[in-house]
Structure 1
């Protein structure tokens, strides 16, 4: 269920939720743990629900594992296993396509059967299995299989995890909860590359020991899922999915907003190309990893306050600010010629991610009927992920010798999308009452 329009949005002609006849759930203020309830007396600094913190720890451990091996994977494929450079693109393309498709399926299954914790555990378990396969791989097709398994796991877990975060958090604190989760996840992304660099130096610049060690935090993340307490399910379904009402179509306000965000996805290509641009500007392996660490540090630091801010002002305004920051970072990467600028522009790019990642999820969840949050989030992830795949294809075609042109195109395109989002043209944005 969405939020009621803020006064300034009514004056700008933004359509209210009631205008499209979307299915609605009536929830009283006493329903603290419901997707839309707000407890009386709960203020902005109220403690976050326990499950938000536990899932934050789960994501911290898993992302530490992923980012411990991620910067070394291209070198492992091309140097250790002797694969041609094109294989790196094939492996990552298959991985991201798999994740995009599985996120939609995972969201649908999550709403259908209702057992989100089991699905989350399965997803993290598959991710750990994928990392184990990489650690023992002796030929590059095994790495392809491993990345496929890993991304199936990501697709299976993402929507139910986000839906569970929504279910245990009052609507007025959704942005803060998702911002905390993104901050914890990204703190793992800061620690992972640092652990990887330390292990790389400790084991005489050999990559395989780094890959083996990355399995440890991945397994820990699976164990931590056991601490999650799944709330009783609502909306007329039991734990087996029996008695679930026939699904109503997602409301028009959802589709209009997701369509705009998917259009942005078409110009938002992979971070791997951002790191490649840093390399083209003259940074060595260690320099690229350190720049990536700075990016993740800023992302982690800004995610929580950005989410909290989106609980107080319309989420689309926070998201639009993130798109402006994206444009500045991309235009900068397209124009600069010195390596020093990378250490300015990548942290700035981290601000963009913090302003849009958790905020975008909270915004989309606000537009979904309560019984379809998992499906709505999964479809959102799948569509924007598919857009990013297309972005990677055209960016690769226009890369040329330096990679400047794709950044300039995306930077100017992001400014257009930012204006559309900020003005609320054709999209829905609900106002947020101040937390009490």
Structure 2
């Protein structure tokens, strides 16, 4: 299968690690967007319960509806991007919608106002994600796709470090004025949209013909189908990371140290994303993904057996390697398996499969945790990850350049 070629050839002066201007700019956009989001997101449960008087059930309802909306929207935006043959327009709309919606939470007077804001925010994420991932593929040589996606994920995780850190510093100055903090979170979001509009170029791939698209969409590459099925199986064992925080508290980590623990976790993910993506270019996509899923399985076994606070710190650092080994490689593999004019649709399917499986995954983990305890619950997640790694090895025969 032929590789898609980068279309922003006039970017020689701004390349980093051999990456095109589009990839570097999209990395900055994701970092600033995550700074804005993570200034707000960790404080939303507190704002809902303490300021607006919502219950814990409503907090769960907000996130469930928001993530479900994002999953469905990713399917539609991927299809639409391929149908139009353009990427940037939907990416700009998605980032702009989230940037405009997010700080409006400062004006919320009732819990349902927050629900609407989160719905709009996740709607924007759903709109932008598949065409953005396809835009990265179209702006990158096939030989370094893992590096490009790894860089993008590293920048995203770096924003997840900067957002809480900035929020913490501002809270020291503002006290408990959460609404003011939420308004200030608009600043990095606005900067991200400006960079996107001014520094990212469109990658024309040509629209999918309307007469042939339904037939082609129904005849997805068998390798892609197998990969999506195995990813869905893995995700059924990949529950919310909130359970890791619960486990950390159980083994003795004080609540005041949990933000530091999570910042450390995000730093590991940020530090390993680019090297992990580069490794997938050098040693193959499938091998890196399998290695990452095995790291996940071992880490989950460790979390189930942990008995001391330092165990959690070590295990969380090790667990962070899973993200570095898989995130760039998984996205690069998707781009490798389909032609350029169907990449956005393929990314939409990929993200939707993960989003749809995430809910039963967390429900299963919660049930096992509450009924049988941490050890059996984390062991089930480890077993599913190990099984997915084995099936990936047996079922997937990726292109020779990404084996």
Tell me the residue number matched to 2:98.
127
Tell me the residue number matched to 1:426.
395
Which 4+ runs in 1 deviate beyond 4 A? 241-245, 401-404
Separation (CA, whole Å) in 1 of partners of 2:166 and 2:255:
15
Q: Which runs of no fewer than 5 residues in structure 1 stay unpaired? A: 2-25, 36-44
The answer on 1:359 being equivalent to 2:291 is: no
Separation (CA, whole Å) in 2 of partners of 1:389 and 1:61:
28
Tell me the residue number matched to 1:14.
none
Separation (CA, whole Å) in 2 of partners of 1:359 and 1:97:
25
User: Taking structure 2 as the reference length, what is the TM-score of the superposition?
Assistant: 0.91
- Are the structure 2 counterparts of residues 308 and 274 from structure 1 closer, same or farther at C-alpha, using a change threshold of 3 Å? same
Separation (CA, whole Å) in 2 of partners of 1:203 and 1:405:
44
Is the Cα contact below 8 Å between 2:161 and 2:266 reproduced in 1?
yes
The answer on 1:72 being equivalent to 2:39 is: no
Give the alignment of 1:356-435 within 5 angstroms. Answer: 356-400=326-370, 403-421=374-392, 424-432=393-401
- Are the structure 2 counterparts of residues 273 and 187 from structure 1 closer, same or farther at C-alpha, using a change threshold of 3 Å? same
Separation (CA, whole Å) in 2 of partners of 1:230 and 1:95:
30
- Are the structure 2 counterparts of residues 302 and 201 from structure 1 closer, same or farther at C-alpha, using a change threshold of 3 Å? same
Tell me the residue number matched to 1:141.
112
The answer on 1:99 being equivalent to 2:70 is: yes
Q: Say which SS state the counterpart of residue 211 (structure 1) adopts.
A: helix
Tell me the residue number matched to 2:239.
269
Q: Which runs of no fewer than 5 residues in structure 2 stay unpaired? A: 9-15
Give the alignment of 1:188-199 within 5 angstroms. Answer: 188-199=159-170
The answer on 1:33 being equivalent to 2:6 is: yes
Is the Cα contact below 8 Å between 1:54 and 1:227 reproduced in 2?
no
Is the Cα contact below 8 Å between 1:183 and 1:304 reproduced in 2?
yes
After superposing the two structures, state which structure 1 stretch, 273-282 or 161-170, moved more. Answer: 273-282
Q: Say which SS state the counterpart of residue 307 (structure 2) adopts.
A: coil
The answer on 1:259 being equivalent to 2:229 is: yes
Tell me the residue number matched to 1:279.
249
How far 1:403 sits from its partner (Å)? 4.3
After superposing the two structures, state which structure 1 stretch, 76-85 or 313-322, moved more. Answer: 76-85
- Are the structure 2 counterparts of residues 232 and 89 from structure 1 closer, same or farther at C-alpha, using a change threshold of 3 Å? closer
1:182-236 CA deviation, whole Å, 9 max, x = no partner? 111111111111111111222224433332222221122112111244345234x
The answer on 1:204 being equivalent to 2:171 is: no
Is the Cα contact below 8 Å between 1:258 and 1:364 reproduced in 2?
no
- Are the structure 2 counterparts of residues 252 and 143 from structure 1 closer, same or farther at C-alpha, using a change threshold of 3 Å? same
Separation (CA, whole Å) in 1 of partners of 2:178 and 2:376:
33
After superposing the two structures, state which structure 1 stretch, 144-153 or 265-274, moved more. Answer: 265-274
Q: Say which SS state the counterpart of residue 250 (structure 1) adopts.
A: coil
Separation (CA, whole Å) in 1 of partners of 2:190 and 2:123:
17
Tell me the residue number matched to 1:302.
272
Q: Say which SS state the counterpart of residue 178 (structure 1) adopts.
A: helix
Q: Say which SS state the counterpart of residue 432 (structure 1) adopts.
A: helix
Tell me the residue number matched to 1:350.
320
Separation (CA, whole Å) in 2 of partners of 1:415 and 1:122:
39
Please provide the CA RMSD for this pair.
2.3
Separation (CA, whole Å) in 1 of partners of 2:39 and 2:111:
19
Structure having the higher helix fraction is 2
After superposing the two structures, state which structure 1 stretch, 247-256 or 289-298, moved more. Answer: 247-256
Separation (CA, whole Å) in 1 of partners of 2:198 and 2:291:
36
Separation (CA, whole Å) in 2 of partners of 1:208 and 1:280:
32
